[in-house]
Amino acid sequence: MAQIVGGIGTSHVPAIGAAIAKGLQQDPYWKPFFDGYVRAREWLAEARPDVVVMFYNDHGLNFFLDKMPTFAVGAAAEYHNADEGWGLPVQAPFPGDPALSWHIIESLAAEEFDLTTCQEMKVDHAFVVPTQLLWPEGGRPVRIVPIAINTIQHPLPSPARCFKLGRAVGRAIRSYDEDLKVLVLGTGGLSHQLDGKRAGFINKSFDLMCLDRLSRFPEVLTAYSAADIIEMAGSQGVELLMWIAMRGALGDDVAEVHRNYHIPISNTAAGLLVLECRDAGRQPGRLRTAWPLRV
């Protein structure tokens, strides 16, 4: 049976990709951010996942406002990157795992999740930048199953719904009859707003609270609405939904391996959280009730 080795939450700002392309990792502005990933890469070298199930949000490369699914699962043999207009180098295709994708799709449908199934899927910086951060040597050491969550077109899914999605994905992975080690990745955020009267908004105390709760009491975050997160983390800070889905997939018994928090990176609060599963083979338990904190 497949085993979930752990999960990682990471920022995916396109400026990170530009810094990588320009070789600015040791630049004083960028060094505190990039140094935070050394321990994450060491842990990955130990865990050696075969497949990554990645929760991310599309920014218009694959979906647009006229057609924006709430949840979309890739089922392709490979995923192509394309020019988004940020000046980022276009990356070579990323290998998929269609068999695992279809198993997850069928499992989610059986649990009454309404999905968009994508047998072709272009992937943007939210998918590409995390792979560059975690596997900077290049190449394609893992196969990837992408799951896109809508954070653009309202109404948005709630944190509770995304957590339940993660729980269901975790059950699907653990029921997959193949000896695979799977990493679950959630990309985006943390707090930031790129437009409007609150452009440049960052909420450090809320971000740090979220990192704490994701490690130990993730159910606290499910009591918020999507509108609550936008209020406290900014309009683009709602990308926290991907971290919540990632955490849901891991189950109840996890250990925090590493975290890093750095502000600002391109007007964004950049976060990193590495969690290791200690309950391999066990099914996720029931939600525990908890009250949210307003920070």
Q: Which residues are catalytic?
A: 125, 192
DSSP state of 64: B
Residue tagged 């505190």 (tokens): 32
In whole angstroms, what is the distance from residue 173 CA to residue 249 CA? 9
Residues 6+ apart with CB under 8 A from 253: 277, 278, 279, 282
**Is residue 19 a contact partner of residue 130, using CB atoms and an 8 Å limit?**
no
**Residue 127: C-alpha distances to residues 4, 13, 58, 144, 175 (Å):** 20, 10, 8, 10, 25
Q: Which two tokens stand for residue 223?
A: 């009591």
DSSP state of 253: -
